[in-house]
Amino acid sequence: MTRTHSPPSSNNTYFRLWFWLAGAFLFFGFIALIRSILLPFVVGMLAAYFLDPAVHRLRRWGWPRGASAAAITIGFFVLATGICALLVPAIIRQFTALIAQLPGYFEHLEATYSDEIAHYLSLLGADQVNTIKDSLGNYSGTLVGWAGQVAGGALQSGLALLNILSLIFITPIVAFYLLRDWHVMVSRFYALLPRDQTDTIREQLKAIDRTLSGFIRGQTNVCLIMACYYGVMLSVAGLNFGLLIGIATGLLLFIPFVGFATCFVLSIIIAMIQFPDNTHLIAIPAVYGIGLLLESSFLTPRLVGGKVGLHPLWIIFGMLAGASLFGLIGILISVPVTAVIGVLVRFAIARYLHSSLYTGQD
C-alpha cells in the first residue's frame, strides 16, 4: 500500500512560520548580547571563507584536509603579521601627523582661496548661503557623532588589550577549525533541514555562496591590489601622507563611491597646499584616473564579475546600519549580511510573483 503525503495544513504552516521567526529572533538577540566578544570569531570566519579555495586546491594536490588547513592558516597569518609589522608603524605615524595638520590645511585653503569662495557665495542669496551652512553643520555633526560611535565601539570591542590578544591568538584557531571541519558542519546542517524544503534551501544557500564568493573574495582582492597601487603611486608622486591615503583609498573601495571620493578630495586638498605652483598637482588626478580605469575595466570584471547583484546603495545602507547597530562588528559583517538578505529578498519576490497574492488566482 502506497503512502501518500497530504499537503500541509494551514495550522501547520503557521506553526512553522512562527517557529522560524521565533528562532531568528532568539538568534539575533543572542548575537546582540554577546557582540562584545565576537570580533575574533567574525574575523576568523571571514578569513576562513576567504582562504577556503586555497585549502581545496591543496586537497586536489593530495594533501590531507587537516594539513591543508594548518598550512594555509599558518602561512596566511604569518604573512599578514609580517605586513602589519612593516606597514602599521608608518601608517600610525602618518595618521597622527595628518590629524595634527588637517586643521591648518583647511585654514590655509580658506586664506588662499577666500576671494574665489566669496565670489561663488555672492552668486547665491543670503538665505541660500545660511541654509547651506546650516545643512553642512547638521550633516557634519551627524557624521562626527556617527564616527565617534564607531570609534568608541572600536576602542571598546577592537582595541582593548584583551580583544587584541584574542585577535592574535583566537582568530587563527577559529579560522583553522572552520577550514578543517567545514564539510562536517555543512553535512550536519543539511541533515537538520526540513525534509520537504531541503532542495529549496540548498538552492538558496548555493545562490548566497555565489554572491558571497563573487563579492567578498573578489572585492577583497580588488581592495588589496588597489591599496598597494594607490599607496605606492601616491608616495612616488611625493604626496604628503601618500602611503596612508593610498592604502585607505584601496581598502575603502568596499564602500562604493564614498571611500574613493573622500580620499581623492583629501589628496587634492593636500596637493594644493603642498604644491602651490600646481606643477605637480596633475600627478594626483592622473594616479586616481589610472587607478579608477584599472579597477573598473580590468580588476572588478575579472575578480568580482557581474553576477553579484548587489546595488551600491544597498551596500552603503548595510554598512551604516551595521555600524549603528553593532559598531565595528556590524561593519565587518555588513557586506555578508546584506548579500544574504539580497538573495533572500530576490527569492521572496520570485515566490510572490508566482503566488495567488500577485496573480489573484487560487
Residues 6+ apart with CB under 8 A from 87: 243, 247
Contact 344, 309 (CB under 8 A): no
pLDDT at residue number 130: 63
pLDDT tens for the chain, residues 1 to 362? 444 455 555 566 677 778 878 888 888 788 778 877 788 888 888 888 888 888 989 988 989 989 999 999 999 999 988 888 888 888 888 888 888 777 777 777 667 666 666 666 666 666 665 665 555 555 445 545 555 554 455 445 444 556 677 777 888 999 999 999 888 888 888 888 888 778 888 888 888 887 777 777 788 888 899 999 999 999 988 888 889 999 999 988 877 777 788 889 888 888 888 877 666 678 888 999 999 899 888 887 777 765 556 677 777 788 788 777 777 677 777 777 887 888 888 888 888 888 777 777 76
pLDDT at residue number 110: 67
CA 116 from chain centre, in angstroms, equals: 38
Residue 159 has phi, psi (to 5 degrees) of -115, 0
The model's pTM: 0.70
Contact 211, 339 (CB under 8 A): yes
Q: How far apart are CA 182 and CA 45, in angstroms?
A: 11
Residue 226 has phi, psi (to 5 degrees) of -70, -30
pLDDT at residue number 356: 76
pLDDT at residue number 3: 47
CA 152 from chain centre, in angstroms, equals: 19
